[in-house]
Chain A
Amino acid sequence: MKDQMRKEVRSGIRRAGGWLLGICWFGLVLWGILEAFGTEANFSVGHHPSRALGYVLLSIAGIIFVVTANLWKRVFPGIMLFATLGSLLELERGHAVNSSSIVIPRWISSIQLIVVAGVMVLSFTFKNRPLNILDRLALLVFTASIFYGGMEATRQEVPLALIVGGLCIFFVWLVDRLKAKTAAS
């Protein structure tokens, strides 16, 4: 009984720690984007964006993302499930989640919803297999597309980046299915 409780506590701490590390990683990405693509208006007086620092930070974040993919792949479908809910809310409300001032046309949120829901369904298959380098790179492209595609959507443009990111996920899923079929026959 005590061992079981200890195991559960350890598992809980590991999960909470994982989420905190994930949030730190997200902070690193935001800092990198700000330095690499930010304007003078984003910085306080006397401070200037450092493009080199931004690219270094984004590279470090990308490497961490690819190397640790097998550790966080378990929570990816959950994040995508809530992203689908978020897209559904954007479609229903007509504005960005938590920001009513950012209007997103319904036809754009419909495209977003289709891509995100599709990736969510495919992401469940990632849980059951070790991710190879192609899978990891596709996930990296898709994550980058969330940032760029989100920006496109808020500018009321077709979220092309998000569509490309979604297609990358579909491609690696297809490759895995074909490999599994070949192995079976």
Chain B
Amino acid sequence: MAANANTYSIGGSTELAVNVATNTNSNISEYTSFATGNEITELLFSGPGAGNFLEVASHGAGTPLTVGRRTSNIMSLNLGGKTGLPQALGSSGAQGLLETAGKWLNLGLDALEKGAIDLGYAGAEAINCAIPAGN
């Protein structure tokens, strides 16, 4: 899987598109791979013990088993109410603390956008490699 890793990244796939469109051949994205490469692929499919990730994942999945409620006749209470922070917390320092926590969470979500793209590429690579050659 490591052989095609660069193609399954923002940098590699964009370079491939440019090469196809302009009929060229280059490897510029390898220079910028620390910024435009796919860190998730590198973490999962490269390094010591890599290559057997799918096998390990399939072993980890275990035997299918479902547990829990099987009926739908459960009563739900849909009471309309006033949303927002509980009044008791509003007067304490909890509001500021929650706002700060919200900001950090938002920051994390912004950062995760690149991670989500990398994860998509990693999934595509895993699917492509799982398909036996010749199909």
Q: Is the CB of B31 within 8 A of A89?
A: no
In chain B, positions 17-46 with a C-beta closer than 8 Å to chain A are 17-18, 21-26, 28-39, 41-43, 46
Chain B, residues 102-118, CB within 8 Å of chain A (1/0): the string is 00000100111111011
Interface stretch, picked from B2-10, B56-64, B84-92, is B2-10
Contact of B46 among A74, A85, A100 (CB under 8 A): A100
Task: Tell which of B2, B18, B24 touches A44, judged by Cβ atoms closer than 8 Å.
Answer: B24
Number of A interface residues at 8 Å Cβ cutoff, please give it. 46
The answer to whether A99 and B34 touch across the interface, beta carbons within 8 angstroms, is: no
Q: Does A75 contact B (CB under 8 A)?
A: yes
A166 to B: closest C-beta gap in Å:
13
**Is A79 touching B34 in the complex (CB atoms < 8 A)?**
no
Are B33 and A86 within 8 A (Cβ)?
A: yes
| Residue of B8, B41, B111 touching A78 (CB-CB under 8 A) | B111
The distance from the CB of A3 to the nearest CB of chain B, in whole angstroms, is: 15
Q: How far is the CA of A112 from the CA of B37 in the complex (A)?
A: 15
Q: Which residues of B contact A (CB under 8 A)?
A: 2, 5-6, 8-12, 14-15, 17-18, 21-26, 28-39, 41-43, 46-47, 107, 110-115, 117-118
Interface CB pairs A-B, < 8 A, 28: A15-B113, A23-B10, A30-B14, A30-B26, A31-B21, A33-B28, A34-B18, A34-B22, A38-B24, A42-B24, A43-B23, A44-B24, A77-B110, A78-B112, A79-B35, A82-B39, A85-B39, A90-B34, A93-B42, A96-B37, A97-B33, A97-B38, A98-B12, A99-B30, A99-B33, A124-B107, A146-B35, A153-B31
Residue A107 is within 8 A (CB to CB) of chain B in the complex = no
**Nearest 8 Cβ contacts at the A-B interface:** A78-B111, A97-B37, A150-B31, A86-B34, A98-B5, A98-B6, A83-B35, A97-B33
Residues of chain A whose beta carbon lies under 8 Å from any beta carbon of chain B? 15, 19, 23, 26-27, 30-31, 33-34, 38, 41-44, 47, 74-75, 77-79, 81-83, 85-87, 89-90, 92-93, 96-100, 102, 112, 116, 124, 127, 146-147, 150-151, 153-154
**CB closest residue in chain A, given B11:** A26
